[in-house]
Structure 1
Amino acid sequence: MMKPLALSLTSLLALAACTTTETEVPVEVRIANATPAVTVTARGETMPVGTPNADAADDPAIWRNAANPAASLIVGTDKKAGLYVYGLDGKTRDFLDAGRVNNVDLRDGVAVNGQAGILVVASDRNDVANAKLALFHLDSVTAKLTALGKVDAGKGEAYGICLYKAPEATYAFIVLKDGTINQVAIDASGATPTGRIVRSMKLGTQSEGCAVDDRTGILYVAEEDVGLWRFDARASGATTPTKIASADGKHLVMDAEGVAIAAIGEKDGYVLVSSQGDNAYVAYRLSDDAYVGRFRIVDGAIGGSEETDGIELMLGDFGPAYPGGLFIAQDGHNAAAAQNFKLLAWDDIARALGLPN
Structure 2
Amino acid sequence: MRSLLLPLALLAGCATVPAPTPAPTPSATLPTAVVTASGETAAVATANADAADDPAVWRNAADPAASLIIGTDKKAGLYVYGLDGKVRDFSDAGRVNNVDVANHKGRAIVAASDRNDNASAHVALFGLDPATAKLTVLGRVPAGAGEAYGLCLYAAPDALYAFVVLKDGTINQLALDLSGPAPSARIVRTMKLGTQSEGCVVDPRTRRLYVAEEDVGLWRFDARAGGATTPVKIAAADGREIVADAEGVAIAAEGRGNGGYLVVSSQGDNAYAVYRLSDDRYVGRFRIGAGAFGATSETDGIEIATGNFGPQFPGGLMIAQDGDNAPAAQNFKLVDWRKVKAALGLR
Seen in structure 2, the aligned counterparts of structure 1 residues 237 and 299 have a Cα distance that, compared at 3 Å, is same
Matching residue of 1:323: 314
**Runs of at least 4 residues of structure 1 off by over 3 A?**
17-21
d(CA) in 2 for partners of 1:301, 1:349: 17
d(CA) in 2 for partners of 1:274, 1:175: 17
1:347 pairs with 2:332: no
SS in structure 2 of the partner of residue 60 of structure 1: strand
Q: CA RMSD in A?
A: 1.2
Matching residue of 1:39: 34
Among candidates 147, 153, 156, match of residue 157 of structure 1: 147
SS in structure 1 of the partner of residue 341 of structure 2: helix
1:141 pairs with 2:131: yes
Matches within 5 A, 1:256-275: 256-265=246-255, 266-275=257-266
Q: Aligned residues, how many? A: 328
Q: Which runs of 5 or more residues in structure 1 are unaligned?
A: 1-16
TM-superposed CA distance for 1:33, in Å, is 1.0
Among candidates 75, 78, 84, match of residue 83 of structure 1: 78
TM-superposed CA distance for 1:20, in Å, is 5.7
- Deviations 1:164-197 (CA, angstroms, capped at 9, x unpaired): 0111001000000000000000011221001000
d(CA) in 1 for partners of 2:20, 2:47: 38
Matching residue of 1:58: 53
Q: Which runs of 5 or more residues in structure 2 are unaligned?
A: 1-18
SS in structure 2 of the partner of residue 128 of structure 1: coil
Identity %: 70
SS in structure 2 of the partner of residue 107 of structure 1: strand
Q: Which has the larger radius of gyration?
A: 2
SS in structure 2 of the partner of residue 351 of structure 1: helix
d(CA) in 2 for partners of 1:152, 1:78: 21
**What code does the residue aligned with 1:55 have?**
D
Matching residue of 2:226: 236
d(CA) in 1 for partners of 2:225, 2:62: 33
Matching residue of 1:6: none
d(CA) in 1 for partners of 2:252, 2:20: 43
Seen in structure 2, the aligned counterparts of structure 1 residues 20 and 202 have a Cα distance that, compared at 3 Å, is farther
Among candidates 107, 123, 132, match of residue 102 of structure 2: 107
Matching residue of 2:117: 127
Matching residue of 1:186: 176
Matching residue of 1:251: 241
Among candidates 202, 205, 225, match of residue 192 of structure 2: 202
d(CA) in 2 for partners of 1:97, 1:321: 30
d(CA) in 2 for partners of 1:189, 1:311: 30
- Deviations 1:261-301 (CA, angstroms, capped at 9, x unpaired): 01112221111000000000010011111001000001111
Matching residue of 1:310: 301
d(CA) in 1 for partners of 2:239, 2:302: 20
